[in-house]
Amino acid sequence: MRARRDPLGSGLESGALDLVCAAASLKTGALLDQNLPERARERLEGLAATLPDLFGTLDPTCLDRIAERLGGEPGDTTFREILLLSDKSLHVIQPLTGQPGVALVAECPATSSIGLVLSAIRARVMDMEGG
């Protein structure tokens, strides 16, 4: 099954998940994969373009204070994962810890299993970071 062999290779990949993903710049919102198939690019461009508005726009000291009130440890003020859900789609943004300024953006139909999608994305991130 292709999804198992390479669940999140760039572009339209997993038949089981109908999931597309690509690396994108947190700073510019540009997709970084030059060889991304056009259909995948169309599905991901909008999500990628939002990255500069989502990351670095919330005051880190604010997140620190909220962490403190929640009983968490201050100091880690970067969102590790953002999920957006709609009737049509599930969108995921996962910054790469090994590549600062880069995130994996992914999109799949709303009918997909979210647990499977997140597992696949995390596996892909580990691959990308050489984990």
Partner 1 sequence: MSVERESSRVLPSIPVGPGLIASVLRLLAFIDDLPAGATGVLKFGEDGLILLESRKICWAVARSMRLRLTDILRNQSTPPLPREAVEEIYRRCKVDGKPIGEALVMSGLVTEAGLRVALFKHNGEAIAHLAGSGLSPDAFVSHTRTGYDPKFSFSPCEVLAMLGSLDDPARALAAQIELGNALVPDSFGAAFVRSDTTSGALVIAVDRACDLPVSDLVEVCNWTAGLFDVAHTFDREAALARATWGGHLALVTWRAKDVAFVGLCASRAAAARLVSRLESTAKSSGVIATAARYGGPA
Contact set with partner 1 (CB under 8 A): 45-47, 49-50, 53-54, 57-59, 62-63, 65-67, 69-91, 110-111, 114-115, 118
DSSP structural state of residue 123: H
Q: Which is nearer to partner 1, 23 or 48 (CB)?
A: 48
State the minimum distance, in angstroms, from the CB of residue 92 to partner 1. 10
State the minimum distance, in angstroms, from the CB of residue 93 to partner 1. 9
Q: Which is nearer to partner 1, 5 or 111 (CB)?
A: 111
> Measuring CA to CA, which residue among 123, 95, 92 is closest to residue 109?
92
Q: Which is nearer to partner 1, 5 or 73 (CB)?
A: 73
In the block, residue with structure tokens 């999931």: 19
State the minimum distance, in angstroms, from the CB of residue 78 to partner 1. 6
7-21 b/e with 16+ CB inside 10 Å = b? bbbbbbbbeebbbbb
> Measuring CA to CA, which residue among 128, 126, 123, 129 is closest to residue 19?
123
Q: Which is nearer to partner 1, 5 or 115 (CB)?
A: 115
State the minimum distance, in angstroms, from the CB of residue 114 to partner 1. 6
Q: How many whole angstroms from its chain centre is CA 118?
A: 9
